[in-house]
Homo-oligomer: A and B are copies of this chain.
Amino acid sequence: MEEIAVYRKEHFNAAHRLYRPDWSNEQNELVFGKCNNHNFHGHNYELIIKLVGKINPDTGYMIDLKVLSDIIKEHILKKFDHKNLNLDVPEFAQLNPTAENIAIVIYNILRQQLPAQYKLQIKLYETERNFVEYPVSIL
C-alpha cells in the first residue's frame, strides 16, 4: 500500500484587524501599519488542505474528497466564512489573526476532526502574493 498526498482547495471571505489590545495605538500602528485599521479590512482567503496517507486498494482513493470537503465546510468554513475573525471567532479573542496564526488555528481544528492515520498540512493564501504553510514538514 503506497503513500500519496491528496489536496483540497477551499476559500472563505473574512474581515480582520491586526493589533494587540495591550499595546498603545502608536505601537500597533508602528508594527502592523495599515493592517491595524480600527474598523477592520478583509480578504478572500484561499485554503489548501494537504493529507498524506495510504491508498485504499479497494477504491483507489486515499480519502473520499467529498468527505474531506464536508469536514472542512462543517468545521472551518462555517466558523470563518463571512465572519470577522477578531470578533466572531473565539480562537482569536486573545490571538492576533495573522495568516500564521490563522493557519495554526485551522490546523489544530482539523487535526482533531481527521483520523490520526492522515498527516495534515495547511497552506493559507491571504492574498495571491502573501501565503503561509504549517507545519513546515510532514515527512
Contacts and interface: CB of A to CB of B under 8 A. Distances in A.
Nearest to A103: B4
A125 to B, nearest CB: 9
Nearest to A122: B4
Interface string A122-139: 000001111111111101
Interface in A95-115: 95-101, 103-104
Interface string A52-94: 1001001111101110000000000000011110011000000
Contacts of A88: 37, 39
Nearest to A32: B59
Interface residues of A, number: 65
Interface of A: 2-11, 13-16, 18, 20, 31-35, 37, 39-44, 52, 55, 58-62, 64-66, 81-84, 87-88, 95-101, 103-104, 127-137, 139
20 contacts: A2-B135, A3-B135, A6-B131, A7-B133, A8-B130, A9-B131, A11-B127, A13-B41, A13-B42, A14-B42, A15-B40, A16-B42, A34-B82, A37-B83, A39-B40, A43-B44, A44-B44, A59-B98, A60-B96, A60-B101
